[in-house]
Amino acid sequence: MTGAGALHHVELWVPDLPAAIVSWGWLLDELGWRPYQHWPAGRSWRLAGIYLVLEQSPALSGGRHDRLAPGLNHLAFHAGAPAEVDRLAAAAPGHGWRLMFPDRHPYAGGADSYAAYLEDTQGYEVELVARVG
């Protein structure tokens, strides 16, 4: 969708670009995103006309993302069938992610939501949402 109001891109400023490339690059590739742009301080991936940017800006004011502070809490991605969410959640620790709320996984979002909540080493959270039904 490219009409008025459609999301064009998301830009995340990260304190450690190489670490972000490891975690986010793996996840985005697994979800079907493809490399789009590459420059010394950043990378981007694209899917269906939307792109996501990771940039280590010299203007950063902090060293870690705080998802509990005002601003971005998390990004949620469609991840396919429940088995695909399970596969990604199992593989994620090997790529710099940790499973959040393991005692409630995969229903941490409630009984009607099958998802994996992951956090990377820099404090960014993603929600991988399963297609149910």
All residues at 6 or more sequence positions from 11 whose CB lies less than 8 Å from its CB, including other chains? 52, 53, 55
The domain that holds 85 is classified in CATH as: 3.10.180.10
- pLDDT, tens only, 81-125: 999 999 999 999 999 999 999 999 999 999 999 999 999 999 999
pTM higher than 0.85: yes
Q: Is residue 65 part of a domain?
A: no
All residues at 6 or more sequence positions from 129 whose CB lies less than 8 Å from its CB, including other chains? 76, 77, 78, 79, 85, 113, 114, 115
Q: Is residue 3 part of a domain?
A: no
Give the pLDDT confidence score for residue 87 in this predicted structure. 97
Range(s) of the domain holding residue 30: 9-58+74-129
Question: Which amino acid is it at 20?
Answer: A
pLDDT tier at 31, thresholds 50, 70, 90: very high
pLDDT tier at 69, thresholds 50, 70, 90: confident
Give the pLDDT confidence score for residue 66 in this predicted structure. 87
Give, as one character, the DSSP assignment of residue 131.
P
Q: Is residue 66 part of a domain?
A: no
Number of domains comprising the chain: 1
- Higher-confidence residue: 3 or 79? 79
